[in-house]
Amino acid sequence: MTLPGKPSLLQVGVSVRFSNEALGEFVTHNDPMIRHNLLNLLSTVDAKALQGRSEKEALQKKMLNELNRVLKELNAPAQIDALYFTSFVTQ
C-alpha cells in the first residue's frame, strides 16, 4: 500500500505531572494502552504543521486531553495535571 504525500517524522518525549501517588502506579501499569492511544493521536498530526509555538501548545493540550480521557475510561484514581514536552523533533 502506498501512502499519499511525502512521509514526515514526528518524535516527541513527554513528562507528566500529577498529585496523586496512586496515579503513578496506575499509569505505569496501564502504560501500553496509554501509549497506544497517544500514538494513535500523534499519527493524525502533520509534523510539518507543527512549526510554531501555538501549534505545539495545541498538540500538548490535545495529548493531555487524550491522556485524561483514557485514564477516565480506565477508572483511574485521578487525572494528569500537566503534560510537558521533553523533546520535540520533526522532519
Q: Which residues pair with 85 in a beta bridge?
A: 14
State residue 5's pLDDT score.
59
User: What are residue 88's DSSP bridge partners?
Assistant: 12
User: In whole angstroms, what is the distance from residue 33 CA to residue 56 CA?
Assistant: 23
| Residue 20 backbone phi and psi in degrees, to 5 | -105, 115
For every one of its 91 residues, what pLDDT tens digit does the chain have, with 9 covering 90 and above? 454 656 678 899 999 999 998 999 999 999 999 999 999 999 888 878 888 999 999 999 999 999 999 999 999 999 999 999 999 988 8
pLDDT score for 9: 82
Which pLDDT score, from 0 to 100, does residue 91 have?
80
What is the model's pLDDT at position 28?
93
Nearest to 59 by CA among 67, 50, 68: 50
